[in-house]
Structure 1
Amino acid sequence: MSKILGIDTSNYTTSAALLDTDTMSVIQSKQLLPVKPGEKGVRQSEAVFHHTKQLPDVIGKLMGQGRCIPDGIGVSVKPRLEEGSYMPCFLVGEGFADSLGSVIGVLPDKSSHQIGHILAAIYSSGRFDLIKDKKSFAAFHVSGGTTDLLYCEPDDDNILKISRIGGSDDLKAGQAIDRCGVMLGLKFPCGQELERLAENSSSSFKIKPSVRGLDCSLSGLENKCRDMIDKGCPKEDTAKFCISYVLESIKAMTKAFYEKYSEKTVIYAGGVMSNSMIRSALEAEQRVFCEGEFSRDNACGVAVYSAIKRGLIL
């Protein structure tokens, strides 16, 4: 029986996971970074501070559920596996993984937050055939920090070679949702609260997203939501409009991908894709979704990464 520890210290959540490679079951422990009321996130210096405080407790709760010395450690050390990709918050997880690895004699397997999201989606959806059979596919990584359309190819060194082929170059979908939520008086991060609010709206909207091919612009969405609030529109309608606008943008980019590429498998990952309204509208044959807990920030994907690298699965 092999157990793999996963660690992810993103700009939103302190996450740890323990993967049992025999049963392919995962237990998780997470804690959101604290954000002051009315603010739209935390500075990197604050993120590092909070992760440093929270990670021992998160790991302690996790190992209390399944006490063991891990056979492998997977950790995200940067946002993406590309030159210049860097965020200080990931240093906390990397440092912990290096220290623990030195004590137990295990060299950590280091990957990116982005690959972790995609592998978590593959784990949750049961689509390991994409990795095992070395298939190419597309993945949307839609969160507070990214709105990317990614082309994923098999790679012996990193499991996946990821190329960005589209997405938003201005405001990210998660940013738009959080900013709208904060304007509505919701607690950051606002995704789940905004979704609950939107579910109470019976309004429908005719939305023409700003999409050109595989790229979209979301910079105008914040202003549109602010205008609705200033005009006294019901909070529920503003919330639904915001989510609907993001949905229509992703639908249009998905359609453009199908028209341009022969690969027909599309994976949706990242915190925004845990939204049930977006998921129900997009879910169709060969479109891969995962459970919400594996779509939001988590450490399952980097645990899976380590297990694959060590030849313990697949």
Structure 2
Amino acid sequence: MHIVLGIESSCDETAAAILTEDGRRVLAEQVFSQAADFAAWGGVVPELAARAHVQHLPGIIAAVLQQAGLKPQQLNGIAVSAWPGLMGSLLCGVTCAKMLAARLDLPLIGVDHIAAHLSAAAIESQPLPYPAIGLVVSGGHSHFYHLDGPASMRLIGGTIDDAAGEAFDKAAAMLGLGYPGGPHIDTLAAQGNAKAFALPRSLLHSGDLRLSFAGLKTALLYAVRGPCGKEELKLDKQGICDAAASFQAAVVEVLCRKLLAACRQHGLRSVIVGGGVACNSGLRRGLQDLCQEHHLDLRLPRPQHCADNAAMIACLGIDLLAAGQCHNLDLSPLPTGAAGPRATPA
């Protein structure tokens, strides 16, 4: 039975986790988030994120080993988020993983961070159904994939401008809310009227799988801050809740309708969704209602495994290790937008 250590440092979460092959069971996991540190900046500062990874990663790895009651020599592999992401942040995790793999003479598994978000639905759950349509919705990605296996994915559509998570953050800023914006929008939307603001659903009837959230974001800006987008926010608390609910409803409707279109176009009835936005309660309800109505098999990660975490890295790492898809110690991280290197047989 394989026991794999996963390391995640692609953006501003420093994380480590240990999973077993048996049911993808989590033996230990820890996440150190820098979100509060970046609230004053309104977003991630790459240099500061990388420094925090260097500071916290060794201690987090030691902590999960202690929590799991394991010695490093009892591990069977080291999986690390290697692409895509912020280059400085990725370097921290990959360098640490390479040092551990060399020191312990263990297989090194470079993991595609996006594929891992989809594998998160398998953590302490049933094996995922393939082939399937995959949807990754996060701060940097909003894309549809045709999935033939855990690491076999083909891009079939996605955003042509902002990612859904980025749009949530910017909408929250317009409404005077904190960073990250997604949780604030989600909380206030539950108290608001989703029909209070008439916001657009861009590309909803385009006939393809393109997404666009830039127009929605601009429409919200004009609705709450005037036709030039520069007026003071004059909404009361209920008005802000209504704006949040209207914005969230627009995003959810577009994602759900496009996901259904993807299933129909590709003749598939299994759906796997991942990414930080997948913990949004409105989206989860929308997906569940959609899949129940159309008899689709929906797989969602638990909310704690939607945002960046190391359990998803270890989960996909277990599949890659079993398939012999490991890397040499010359593994190099690749930035956002790059395609991952081919693994070499173990």
TM-score (norm 1): 0.87
Instruction: Please list every run of 5 or more consecutive structure 1 residues that lacks an aligned counterpart in the other structure.
Output: 80-84
Q: What amino acid does structure 1 have at the position aligned with 2:321?
A: R
Structure 1 runs of 4+ with >4 Å offset = 205-208
Q: Is it true that 1:160 corresponds to 2:151 in the alignment? A: yes
Equivalents in 2 of 1:305, 1:153: separation in Å? 14
Paired residue for 1:9? 9
The alpha-carbon deviation at position 166 of structure 1 amounts to 0.7
Contact 1:9–1:92 at 8 Å: present in 2 too?
Answer: yes
Deviation of 1:124 (Å): 5.1
Instruction: Name the stretch that deviates more: 287-296 or 222-231.
Output: 222-231
Alignment check: 8 A CA contact 2:133 2:144 kept: yes
- CA displacement at 1:125 relative to structure 2: 4.6
Q: State the alpha-carbon separation in 1 of the partners of residues 55 and 220 from structure 2.
A: 36
Residues in 2 aligned to 1:36 and 1:161: alpha-carbon distance in whole angstroms: 34
Shift of 1:123: 2.7
Q: Does 1:188 align with 2:179?
A: yes
2:338 counterpart residue number: none
The answer on whether the counterparts of 1:4 and 1:71 sit within 8 Å (CA) in structure 2 is: yes
1:194-241 per-residue CA deviation (whole Å, 9 max, x = no partner) reads 211111113435654112221111111222222233263421112112
Q: Secondary structure at the match of 2:283?
A: helix
1:29 corresponds to: 30
1:302 and 2:303 aligned? no
Q: Does 1:118 align with 2:129?
A: no
Which letter maps to 2:211? C
| Residue of structure 1 equivalent to 2:214 | 219
Aligned to 2:94: 94
Cα distance between partner residues in 2 of 1:311 and 1:36: 38
Name which of 313, 322, 344 aligns with 1:311. Answer: 322
Larger CA deviation: 212-221 vs 181-190: 181-190
Q: Is the 8 A contact 1:109 1:305 kept in 2?
A: no
Query: Which stretch shows the higher mean deviation, 222-231 or 176-185?
Result: 222-231
- Rounded Cα–Cα distance in structure 2 between residues aligned with 1:2 and 1:258: 34
Q: Is the 8 A contact 1:17 1:299 kept in 2?
A: yes
1:93–1:140: structure 2 CA closer, same or farther, 3 Å change rule? same
| Residue 197, structure 1, aligned to residue 192, structure 2 | no
1:151 paired residue number: 146
CA distance in 1, matches of 2:2, 2:256: 40
Q: Which has the larger radius of gyration?
A: 2
Letter in 1 for 2:32: Q
Q: Report the alpha carbon displacement of residue 86 of structure 1 after superposing the two structures with TM.
A: 6.9
- Aligned pair 1:271/2:276, yes or no? yes
Paired residue secondary structure (1:210): coil
Partner of 1:289: 300
The 1:305/1:258 distance shift into structure 2, 3 A limit, reads closer
Answer with 284-293 or 303-312: which moved more.
303-312
State the Cα distance separating 1:267 from its structure 2 match. 0.9
Could you say which residue in structure 2 is the equivalent of 1:235?
240
Amino acid at match of 1:51: H
Root-mean-square deviation (CA, aligned residues, Å) is 2.2
Deviations 1:62-108 (A, max 9, x none): 223113222211111011xxxxx873321111111001111111121
Give the 3 Å change call, closer, same or farther, for CA 124–167 of structure 1 in structure 2. farther
User: SS at the partner of 2:39?
Assistant: coil
Give CA deviations for 1:29-82 in whole Å, capped at 9, x if unaligned: 001124433433223222211211221232233223113222211111011xxx
C-alpha separation in 2, matches of 1:86 and 1:198: 31
1:262 is matched with which residue? Answer: 267
Structure 1 vs Structure 2: percent identity of aligned residues? 26
Distance in 2, Cα, partners of 1:310 & 1:72? 7
The residue number in structure 2 matching 1:82 is none
Structure 2: segments with no counterpart, 5+ residues? 227-233, 324-346
Q: CA deviation at 1:143?
A: 0.2
| Residue aligning to 1:20 | 20
CA distance in 1, matches of 2:29, 2:66: 11
Counterpart-to-counterpart distance in 1, 2:240 and 2:124: 33
Please name the residue that 1:169 is paired with: 160
Measure the CA separation in 1 of the matches of 2:124 and 2:252: 22
CA distance 1:276–1:48, change in 2 (3 Å): same
In 2: Cα distance, 1:182 partner to 1:124 partner: 36
> Residue 17 of structure 1 aligns to a residue in which SS?
strand
Partner residue of 2:332? none
Can you list the C-alpha shifts for 1:139-164, whole angstroms capped at 9, x where unaligned? Answer: 1000000011111123xxxx522221
